[in-house]
Every structure is written in C-alpha cells, then in structure tokens.
Amino acid sequence: MTVKLTPTQMAWRAAQDIADGAYVNLGIGFPEMVARFQPPGREAIFHTENGILGFGEAPAPGTEDWDLINAGKKAVTIKPGTAFFHHADSFAMVRGGHLDVAILGAYEVAENGDLANWSTGPRGVPAVGGAMDLVHGAKRVAVMTDHVTKDGKPKLLKRCTLPLTGVGCVTRVYSSLAVIDIEGGRFVLREKLPGLPFDELQSLTGAELHTPDPVADLIVPEL
C-alpha cells in the first residue's frame, strides 16, 4: 500500500481548517495532537469534558501538575484566561451548542455521516462516553483516523457495523490517505496523497468515492 500519513501529519492537516477564535473539543488519542499545530495568526480555545476551557500546551516532561489534566488524562498547562468548571457545566456547553468543532477518532464512518467510535467485547471501549454528546452538540464534527484497520479493512463504509456514536453527524474525514467530505449521503474526495492512484484509494474504501471537483494533492510537512 502507498506510504500513509503519520498521526502527527493528520493532526497538522486537521488543524489547518480550524478558524481563529473557534471553540474546539479534541477527542482522546490522535485528535489531541491537533492542538500542537495552530496556524500562525490563529488561536483556538480548547475545551475538555472534565471542565477546562482555554488551556495551554502540554507541559515539558517532568514538569507536569497532575491536578491539571484533560479528559484523556494527559497533563495540560494553564494560561491567562483559562477557566475551570464543574463537569455538568462542561456538558451544558456541549449540549447547548457552544462548541464550534469536535474532532474525534473513529472505528468506522459511514457515507451518510454515521460514526462508530466505541465498541464492545474484550478489546472494546467500555462505553460511548462524552462522544455521544459531542457529535450532536458541536456545530461541526470531523474525524481523524487511519484509512484502514490494522488488518487492512476499510474504516470508511457504506454503513457502520459497530454500535453507533451518532447518526449523520460527521461532515469531514481526515484520513491517513485523503481528506473526504460527507455531502448528500456520499463520500466526496477533496484531497489525496500525491502519487496515490484513485483506483487504489477506492479499493481501500468501503463505499463509492465521488469526485465532482478537481482533487487536490494532500500536502503536509515532514513532522
């Protein structure tokens, strides 16, 4: 298979679409790295479900204050204007539509925008958690994920097979091979890795890819 983007490179690409001043929630795992790559001249306000708004970068190793963590139990820093609040108030922000963007990981995404990012079984995530609220509270929901599973099966499908996190909620996917929008119940290819043949990308996708506009090259820095 064609060389794919690293999680860091996917995070960089996702960060380029975040507007200045946007209120953003980043899912646990790969999406947390998006905060490292705010474009020059833009500053997002990051929200975490456990009750912090406007936190700063991760602290240097060895300087962590473990009373200051995000929802993924990663250490964060505070900066002027950082706010702390009750867990219930945090979810009131989510459910009240006060977040501009949520960027989440995924096991599966369907062409109609359905999202499955939790599972059952011995290796599953034990509960859907706050993602269920985020996908219907945030104004825009994007997904950051490998294009295929570890055994090479498509993660972008005609219909999800795992328990759903949300219905018709995803509008853009930043994968390790492409940037794909979900419009009108179908996958619309916007960018793909240079040199990656369309037919190969289609073979790694479990639903039809549409190309109504010229497809741009997915160019990212070496990170």
Annotated catalytic residues are 49
Cβ-contact 6, 193 below 8 angstroms: no
Q: How far is CA 124 from CA 121, 162, 203, in A?
A: 5, 11, 27
Whether the CB-CB separation of 134 and 141 falls below 8 Å is answered with: yes
* Token code pair at residue 61: 């190793």
For residue 70, give the 3-state DSSP assignment.
Answer: coil
Q: Looking up tokens 């790295």, which residue turns up?
A: 33
Structure tokens at 146: 């490998």
Q: How far apart are CA 54 and CA 129, in angstroms?
A: 22
SS3 category, 9? helix
